[in-house]
A and B are shown apart, each in its own frame.
Chain A
Amino acid sequence: GNSVTQMEGPVTLSEEAFLTINCTYTATGYPSLFWYVQYPGEGLQLLLKATKADDKGSNKGFEATYRKETTSFHLEKGSVQVSDSAVYFCALSDSSNTGKLIFGQGTTLQVKP
């Protein structure tokens, strides 16, 4: 079946450091890929998405590229801020028209001043 695997956290970085959170997936067909972010005490919100191979999603300085050859969708940011501290979830939606999301386990990011 379809699945998503994320690097385990927590990840602790100093402000202005480079961030990478790894995400790999297993899916049949051509899934859409997402990164959602959850700030403390809140629900999830979409950070970025990519819907086909080689697409790059970007938002708020974060980027991720849909790599079909390596079945990966790694999240990167060149310079993190304290306000980026949150839990990050990689997710996929398969090609059925149900919109069901399959999530990775989440990666907690803590950025220290």
Chain B
Amino acid sequence: NAGVTQTPKFQVLKTGQSMTLQCAQDMNHNSMYWYRQDPGMGLRLIYYSASEGTTDKGEVPNGYNVSRLNKREFSLRLESAAPSQTSVYFCASSATGAPYNEQFFGPGTRLTVL
């Protein structure tokens, strides 16, 4: 039982390049989330998927797109990377979107955009 896995662990991009961050969970969870973590700002929600087949914007969606490929997988795409997107990205999942549910986090992807 791996929990939440993310690939890659590290990535360096040049401005304007594109990439997809992959996330998968093996806990049969319905809800999945993408956050970014920046110094002094905690984690901020980029996009979420409350259930398979749905996606919605979070607090900071600009410059990103997501795909809920199936119940297990939720990918985050940067179409044209910018230095402001240098951050650590975390994927998380929870059993449902109920407010009392624990979220389980992946190990993160550290992205640098030059």
From B45, B96, B100, contact of A32 by CB (8 A)? B100
The answer to whether B42 and A103 touch across the interface, beta carbons within 8 angstroms, is yes
Query: Could you tell me the distance between the alpha carbons of A75 and B67 in the complex, rounded to whole angstroms?
Result: 36
Number of interface residues of B (CB under 8 A): 30
Tell which of B13-21, B69-77, B101-109 binds the partner: B101-109
Q: Is B40 an interface residue (CB 8 A)?
A: yes
Please give, as numbers and ranges, the residues of chain B lying within 8 Å of A104 by CB-CB distance.
42
Chain A nearest CB from B41 CB (Å) reads: 6
User: Contacts A44-B43, A45-B105 known; A100 to B100 CB distance under 8 Å?
Assistant: no
Query: Could you tell me the distance between the alpha carbons of A43 and B92 in the complex, rounded to whole angstroms?
Result: 9
- The residues of B with any CB-CB pair to A shorter than 8 Å are 4, 31, 33, 35, 40-45, 48, 50, 56, 58, 90, 92, 94, 96-108
